[in-house]
Amino acid sequence: MSKKRLFDDPCGIARALNAVGERWALLVVRELVFGPKRYSDLHRGLPQMSQNVLAQRLRELEADGLVRRRRLGPPAPAAVYELTERGQELEPVLRALAHWGSRAPLPEDGAAELSVDALLFALRATFDPALAGELSLRCQLDVAGDRFRITVAGGRLELDRGEHAEPEAWLTAAEAATLRDLVFAGAALHDAVERADAEVAGDTARLAALLRCFPAAVRYPAPQDPGPPDPVSPGPVSPSTESPNAEHPDPAVSARSRRG
């Protein structure tokens, strides 16, 4: 096990970095902002982080009093990790970092996707009260099977994991990327519904207004319709085995798939 590197500096910033300055540490905290998670759920949210590094970061965050491990009781006994009260105090720090970092260029390869928690945290960080105006809405989100409730009223946003008792609008997206495109890439809600990437119900006009309350300093590329694939060449045909009048099926088949 590698030894944790510490800053020999009494500054408060240096002392904070002694606790959360190691690579991935703050992203582990980000994944726990909306509530406890099992180890497997944490790894699913940070797939590019090795399991050994994740285990080491969790031990370090526990040792520094930012994360604790507890066991859930029946009917589904399992160990989960959650933020302590001191760990929860990092949320405004993360929100400020997310807002500041939103102006940095996106990774060039664009291979990694936002986790569900990272995406919902981005909504918290980028919400613009001026764009919300007088909007008032209770919205239920179901993103990749994870449920969140959003309340907008008086220029304020409340967003946490759970279910609204009486939502006024519903949005279901099978993948986090669908919600990301709707919020940060300018994708149209009706197009996502038409492609069966999303399902909506309730007050869709106010739902669409809600999706426009999160400006992106650096926008994600707009989703592209893949369209039909290139026609496949049938290759050379022997004139002795096939009539020149023989019919060939049209190879241009639509690539658009409808996800359930």
Per-residue model confidence as pLDDT tens digits over 184-229: 888 999 999 999 999 999 999 999 999 999 987 666 666 665 555 5
Nearest in space to 125 (alpha carbons), one of 171, 149, 94: 94
User: Does residue 222 or residue 255 have the better pLDDT?
Assistant: 222
Domain with CATH 3.30.1050.10 in the chain: 116-212
Distance of CA 51 to the CA centre of its chain: 20
Indicate the average pLDDT of the chain.
Answer: 84
pLDDT tens, residue by residue, 125-183: 999 999 999 999 999 999 999 999 999 999 999 999 999 999 999 999 999 999 999 99
Which CATH fold topology does 12-103 show? Arc Repressor Mutant, subunit A (1.10.10)
Nearest in space to 58 (alpha carbons), one of 68, 48, 50, 49: 68
* Residues 6 or more apart whose Cβ sits within 8 Å of residue 123: 150, 157, 159, 183, 214
Which CATH fold topology does 116-212 show? Nonspecific Lipid-transfer Protein; Chain A (3.30.1050)
The pLDDT score that the predictor gives to residue 77 is 75
Domain with CATH 1.10.10.10 in the chain: 12-103
CA–CA dist 177, 222 (Å, integer) = 11
Give the H or E element holding residue 143.
Answer: strand 137-143
The pLDDT score that the predictor gives to residue 65 is 96
pLDDT tens, residue by residue, 57-96: 999 999 999 999 998 877 777 899 999 999 999 999 999 9
CA–CA dist 190, 255 (Å, integer) = 19
Q: What is the dihedral of CA 215, 219, 223, 224, to 10 degrees?
A: 140
Q: Name residue, tokens 């009048």.
A: 245
Strand 169-173 vs strand 137-143: parallel, antiparallel, or unpaired?
A: parallel
The pLDDT score that the predictor gives to residue 25 is 96
CA–CA dist 30, 102 (Å, integer) = 15
Q: Is 116 helix (H, G, I), strand (E, B) or coil?
A: helix
